[in-house]
């Protein structure tokens, strides 16, 4: 039986509130149930996670899926001060180190810090303090046989950091996370984008929380330019999208890039998928009104992943009219463009949860964004359904007043006739947003008027003197 080893995962300090949810989803996806591989809330405060296992392949599975993780090392030693650290590392089994110290094996040591910056000269000095390690092979900074990390952690508070590190770590590199996908899917180089195209890192986090895997059917009912589907395709999902905005899906809207005067003729969601070599994953996108039933009742998908419009940067619309008895003449039918009315947020989420309950497979996941007014937020405001269990609820702060929460639901049973969506406590974010904006503008105008009057009075007083 293999002896368990300790491993340290090192995280990027971005979207910290999403770490635990992502790792939990990855563990569940790969059916990793070890109690020693259970993330804790401490992950939302510190950038590292130490686990113990006798299976290195499990560690690589986690790292090879996560976009929050930067790298993982086999942890050889850790301490809270320099003397204990070096003493512990010296005592580390020579047998274990000798395996990596063969004359023909090249190596490099990487110095990593948190909440403190080292110059290159200082990093070299830190490496020199480790000269007692029995590495006999040549140093290779480009493509070494073995890489090692020396880490100094100075706490989480950059405004009140100590002179000495709180923690010191040393170990052998095992795997990197999937941070390279963030650059690969960058909006700067993407063929087709819009004003609300989702950031690649958040899109990938959503795909992980949705547990997208090879062969899954993924649907985004508010697809826009397809950013969420691009991320889902990276993990092998077959993707379908729908949106009411005909002009957006056909790339006839005003270009988002300042340097671009007109849309290219080949811009589309399909072009985005092709750009990343995932055309085989693309099924289709269609123009449709989500409030109208379009799909057959027996249609099933594995994942619904979406960012519904909030009515701030993009309109929330559905087909309808304020007229009581609208009449369309027969000669107008072929060219008729249906009128639209406001599609309120409570109604959108009511329809979204009902749709998920009907069309998700059992244990399938719904991952969606939900906007909130921070001062009034409570968990009771979130929409719910008896057939959906909320798995995760992570916050991305947008401003002092507003944020959005990434909600992950899992379908736990098939619906009954009397099941209903609960949106009773849900506030309309759009109404609150514009009410606050108007109030803020009014206060600003009042303040400016007072300042002008005060400056005028001071100027008149100076003129009299």
Given a cut of 70, whether residue 145 has pLDDT beyond it is yes
Contact 154, 114 (CB under 8 A): yes
Tell me the per-residue pLDDT of 262-276, one tens digit each, with 9 for 90 and over: 898 899 999 999 999
Contact 223, 241 (CB under 8 A): yes
Residue 257 pLDDT grade (very low, low, confident, very high; cuts 50, 70, 90): confident
Q: What is the CA radius of gyration of the chain?
A: 27
Buried b (16+ CB within 10 A) or exposed e, 375-393: eeeeeebbbbbebbeebbe
pLDDT for 159: 76
Helices (H), 323-390: 345-359
Helices (H), 94-244: 94-98, 120-128, 180-184, 200-209, 227-234
Paired tokens of 33:
């149930």
Tell me the torsion sign for CA atoms 73, 77, 79, 83.
negative
CB-hemisphere CA count at 13 Å for 368?
Answer: 31
- Helix (H/G/I), strand (E/B), else coil: 307: coil
Residue 1 pLDDT grade (very low, low, confident, very high; cuts 50, 70, 90): low
Tell me the per-residue pLDDT of 45-97, one tens digit each, with 9 for 90 and over: 899 999 999 899 999 999 999 999 999 999 999 999 999 999 999 888 666 77
Give strand ranges (E) for 155-270.
Answer: 167-176, 217-220, 238-243
Residue with tokens 């309309």: 428
Given a cut of 70, whether residue 278 has pLDDT beyond it is yes
Report the distance separating Cα 374 and Cα 401, nearest Å. Answer: 5
The secondary structure element, H or E, covering residue 148 is: strand 146-153
Tell me which of 363 and 312 has the higher pLDDT: 363
- Mean pLDDT throughout 127-143? 90
Given a cut of 70, whether residue 402 has pLDDT beyond it is yes
Paired tokens of 176:
């990197």
Paired tokens of 248:
């957006």
- Mean pLDDT throughout 214-243? 97
């Amino acid at each position: 039986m293999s002896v368990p080893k300790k491993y340290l995962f090192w995280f990027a300090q971005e979207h910290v509130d999403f770490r635990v949810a992502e790792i939990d989803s990855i563990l569940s996806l790969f059916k990793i149930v070890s109690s020693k591989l259970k993330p804790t809330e401490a992950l939302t405060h510190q950038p590292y996670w130490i686990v113990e296992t006798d299976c290195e392949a499990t560690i690589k599975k986690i790292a090879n899926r996560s976009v929050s993780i930067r790298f993982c090392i086999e942890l050889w030693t850790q301490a809270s001060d320099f003397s204990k650290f070096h003493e512990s590392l010296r005592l580390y089994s020579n047998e274990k180190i000798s395996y990596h110290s063969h004359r023909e094996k090249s190596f490099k040591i990487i110095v990593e810090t948190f909440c403190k910056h080292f110059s290159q000269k200082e990093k070299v000095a830190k490496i020199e303090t480790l000269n007692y390690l029995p590495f006999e092979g040549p140093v290779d900074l480009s493509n070494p046989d073995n890489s090692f990390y020396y880490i100094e952690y100075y706490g989480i508070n950059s405004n009140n950091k100590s002179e000495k590190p709180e923690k010191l770590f040393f170990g052998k590199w095992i795997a990197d996370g999937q941070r390279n996908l963030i650059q690969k899917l960058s909006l700067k180089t993407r063929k087709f984008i819009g004003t609300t195209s989702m950031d690649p890192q958040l899109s990938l986090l959503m795909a992980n929380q949705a547990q997208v895997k090879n062969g899954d059917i993924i649907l985004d009912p508010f697809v826009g330019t397809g950013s969420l589907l691009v991320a889902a395709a990276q993990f092998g999902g077959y993707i379908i999208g729908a949106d009411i905005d005909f002009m957006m899906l056909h790339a006839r809207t005003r270009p988002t890039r300042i340097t671009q005067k007109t849309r290219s003729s080949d811009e589309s969601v399909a072009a985005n998928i092709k750009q990343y070599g995932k055309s085989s994953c693309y099924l289709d996108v269609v123009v449709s009104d989500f409030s109208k039933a379009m799909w057959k009742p027996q249609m099933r998908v594995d994942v619904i992943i979406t960012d519904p419009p909030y009515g701030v940067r993009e309109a929330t619309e559905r087909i309808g009219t304020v007229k009581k008895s609208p009449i369309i003449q027969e000669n107008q039918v072929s060219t008729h463009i249906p009128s639209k009315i406001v599609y309120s947020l409570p109604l959108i989420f009511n329809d979204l949860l009902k749709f998920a309950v009907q069309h998700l497979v059992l244990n399938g996941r719904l991952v969606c964004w939900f906007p909130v007014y921070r001062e009034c937020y409570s968990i009771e405001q979130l929409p719910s359904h008896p057939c959906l269990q909320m798995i995760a609820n992570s916050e991305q702060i947008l401003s002092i007043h507003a944020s959005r929460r990434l909600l992950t639901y899992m379908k736990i049973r098939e619906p009954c006739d009397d099941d209903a969506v609960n949106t009773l406590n849900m506030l309309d974010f759009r109404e609150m947003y514009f009410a606050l904006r108007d109030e803020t503008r009014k206060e600003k105008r009042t303040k400016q008027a007072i300042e002008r009057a005060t400056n005028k009075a001071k100027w008149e007083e100076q003129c009299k003197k």
